[in-house]
Amino acid sequence: MVFLRINVYLLILFLIYIYERRQWVLFLFIPFFLIFIQQPSPDLPTFIIALIVVNELLNNTNKKSLLYLSIFVFCIKPTMFWLPLLIVLESIYKRNLKFQMLIPILAFGILFIIKNIWLFGFPVFPVSAVDFNLSWKPSQEILTYSSQIGLMESYDMHYSYQQIMDFNFLERIDHWFTIGLKSVFNFLIVLSILILGFLAFKKKEKFFTLLFICVLLKFILIIVFSAQYRFFIDIYLIVLFLIFKDISEEKAVFVSVFLSVFISIIFTLPGFVKGQFNMGKWMSGFQMSQLIKPTEFKSENPKSYQLGNLKFHATKELIYKTQFPAMSLYWLKTYQYYNVFPQISENGFIQKKLTEKEKMELKKIINDLENTKP
């Protein structure tokens, strides 16, 4: 799929920006960004734009254009709300906040809410505090499941939802820092917050103080909802940028090349990645033939089923090459557990309670799919 390579073009533009601005420190992030270039991940544009915006803010670039970029990032990933907030707060402090700057915020804010309502039934998905009771909203069972998974993901699925709920406050903190390798990232996010606080205190510049406040606000909100390390990666990058922003070109290029080779070797022999991170789940070992022709990931031939008025394809594993609508075995079992299933209505897809007959049909579909050979 050609769209899997869209991040390659973005990374090339980022390299052009580095040369144009002579910001050699940004070379340090290229090895990490290589992980994202073979997938249509929305994370890469948010990381790159966040670094660019912070860099331009330090250089006192026009706030209006930066505000547009930061709002765009927020629309991609709402957890990046701190970026437009930083620009607005700094404009208020410098007393150059103009009414024209609020227009794009209101316009994109309204579009963002309309998009969420149209797709999910809630103004700010997955928060269901404001419920218009629209027919296409996710069922309460699936929303409950989503929130429980989010909480368990905070502890890298080491504990069940009930075990986590039984933890007291100190136990939650202790287990968050003792869940294996990923607890290192949890420690790093706290360290990053402390470093930002130190920079704000040491430099005594309003920019660093406002940046610290915005990042701290994000940290608190994410901790409350789902304290997964992946929601904090942008903060790691910003802190590293501020620490090493005065590095020389020679050192930046050397470190970037060294880390790029190192990461390439790790992903060429992906045993460690597969064992520690979900992104390595579908990786296979290196083959010499890949030097001539890259391996193309082939999924199994999908099987077609119908339940109620919904005809769909199903597969045991990945579904990205399967004709839509498509479901994986995992989600079929999830719908079976919560006794709901998507159906077609005048307003698109809705989630409907299963009848006794449909329960039996879904069970047969799952059994048939499990017995299918790849």
Residue 256 to residues 218, 221, 260, Cα–Cα distance (Å): 29, 33, 6
Q: Is residue 343 one of the residues assigned to a domain?
A: yes
What percent of the chain is modeled with pLDDT above 90? 11
pLDDT class of 324 with cuts at 50, 70, 90: confident
High-pLDDT (> 70) share of the chain, %: 85
Instruction: Print burial letters for 61-75: b (CB count within 10 Å at least 16), e (below 16).
Output: eebeebbbbbbbbbe
Query: How far apart (Å, rounded) are the C-alpha atoms in residues 238 and 82?
Result: 12
284: how many CB neighbours lie within 10 A of its CB? 10
Task: State which residues form the domain around 308.
Answer: 303-370
Q: Is 352 exposed, middle or buried (0-12, 13-18, 19+ CB in 10 A)?
A: middle
Could you read off the pLDDT of 295-315 as tens digits, one per residue?
Answer: 565 555 667 888 888 888 887
More confident residue, 196 or 99: 196
What is the SS3 assignment for 255? helix
Cα torsion 113, 233, 263, 150: sign? negative
In a domain, 322, yes or no: yes
Residue 202 lies in a domain: no
Among all chains, which residue has been given the structure tokens 């930061």?
Answer: 70
**Mean pLDDT for the chain overall:** 81
Instruction: Name the strands in the sheet holding 326-328, side by side, starting at the edge strand that comes first in the sequence.
Output: 303-307, 310-315, 326-328
Range with the lowest mean pLDDT among 35-39, 78-82, 192-196?
A: 35-39
**Alpha carbon distance 259, 142 (integer Å):** 41
Q: Identify the band that residue 319 occupies on the pLDDT scale cut at 50, 70 and 90.
A: low
139, 340 contact by CB (below 8 A):
yes
Tens of pLDDT, residues 131-186? 777 777 777 777 787 778 778 888 877 888 888 888 888 888 888 888 877 788 88
pLDDT of residue 282: 55
Residues sharing a CB contact under 8 Å with residue 15, sequence separation 6 or more, in sequence order = 30
In a domain, 137, yes or no: no
Across the range 321-332, mean pLDDT stands at 77
Q: How many domains does the chain have?
A: 1
* pLDDT score of 214: 92
Whether 317 maps to a domain, the answer reads yes
Rounded average pLDDT over 217-231? 82
Report if residue 309 sits inside a domain. Answer: yes
| Structural domain includes residue 364 | yes
Distances (CA, A) of 109 to 24, 62, 102, 103: 35, 21, 10, 10
Q: Is residue 148 part of a domain?
A: no
